């Protein structure tokens, strides 16, 4: 299941990258130029002395941004690649990841969903971990927050409400053997007295 999600995310990533390089910015006059200083090199379109239109900004550390500029700022669709191997393709506002986009982390994780000022935030995002586990649900401030389901690589799952990255509220946990336990969690732990009966109970030894 995680492999299918990763394949779907990769397909969407390629589509976003294509759109980013094909973006047409209204009002752009096709005047291209290159500007270089010790921090970056910009090559692309200009309007009234500002980066405006499609262009590529290459940073001294090897990272780059390629996509849409408006009045000198990164705005619209584009792709940002960092020197550490992270990459993002999607929507930007004033230089920040903002709106729908896909982030591939150099250590193997991948997030496909909405962003607010560089933070993962919104409904129905998908975070696929390097080990094959995945979470599908709500995010706030880069963390699982709201309703969602975590599917771990060992086959266990947890579906329910989350807060600041931890199970918090009503939910149901499924063990690798299929045993389901419903209850209420507080800060990642089962709340005392709120543990529900398992859906499958092992027979008594007596």
Measure the CA–CA gap between 173 and 82, rounded to whole angstroms: 37
**In this model, does residue 199 exceed pLDDT 90?**
no
Domain closes at, from 120, 153, 176: 120
Give residue 129's pLDDT: 97
Kindly report, residue by residue over 143-180, the tens digit of the pLDDT: 999 999 999 999 999 999 999 999 999 999 999 999 99
Same-domain pairing of 58 and 75: yes
Cβ density class 145-182: b for 16+ within 10 Å, e for less: bbbbbbbbeeebbbbbbbbeeebbebbebbeeeeeebb
Same-domain pairing of 9 and 54: yes
Same-domain pairing of 99 and 71: yes
149: containing domain: 125-192
Per the model's pLDDT, the better-predicted residue between 13 and 55 turns out to be 55
Same-domain pairing of 88 and 145: no
Residue 95 lies in a domain: yes
Kindly report, residue by residue over 35-62, the tens digit of the pLDDT: 999 999 999 999 988 999 999 999 999 9
Residue 54 lies in a domain: yes
C-alpha angle 191-196-197 in degrees, rounded to nearest 5: 145
pTM of the shown model: 0.79
The chain-wide mean pLDDT, for the chain, equals 86
Same-domain pairing of 129 and 115: no
Same-domain pairing of 130 and 41: no
**In this model, does residue 114 exceed pLDDT 50?**
yes
Give residue 88's pLDDT: 98
Same-domain pairing of 186 and 88: no
Domain closes at, from 75, 105, 120: 120
Give residue 147's pLDDT: 98
């Amino acid at each position: 299941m995680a492999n299918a999600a990763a394949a779907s995310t990769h397909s969407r990533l390629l589509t976003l990258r294509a759109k980013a390089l094909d973006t047409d910015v209204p009002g752009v006059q096709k005047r291209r130029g290159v500007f270089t200083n010790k921090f970056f090199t910009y090559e692309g379109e200009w309007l009234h002395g500002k980066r405006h239109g499609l262009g590529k900004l290459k940073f001294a550390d090897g990272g780059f941004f390629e996509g849409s500029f408006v009045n000198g700022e990164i705005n619209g669709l584009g792709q940002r690649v960092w020197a550490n191997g992270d990459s993002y393709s999607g929507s930007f506002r004033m230089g920040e990841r903002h709106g729908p986009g896909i982030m591939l982390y150099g250590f193997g994780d991948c997030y496909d969903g909405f962003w607010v000022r560089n933070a993962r935030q919104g409904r129905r995002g998908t975070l696929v971990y390097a080990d094959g586990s995945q979470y599908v649900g709500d995010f706030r401030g880069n963390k699982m927050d709201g309703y969602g389901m975590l599917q771990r690589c060992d086959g266990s799952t947890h579906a329910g409400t989350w807060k600041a990255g931890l199970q918090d509220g009503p939910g149901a946990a499924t063990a690798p053997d299929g045993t389901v336990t419903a209850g209420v969690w507080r800060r990642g732990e089962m709340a005392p007295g709120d543990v529900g009966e398992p859906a499958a109970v092992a027979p008594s030894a007596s």
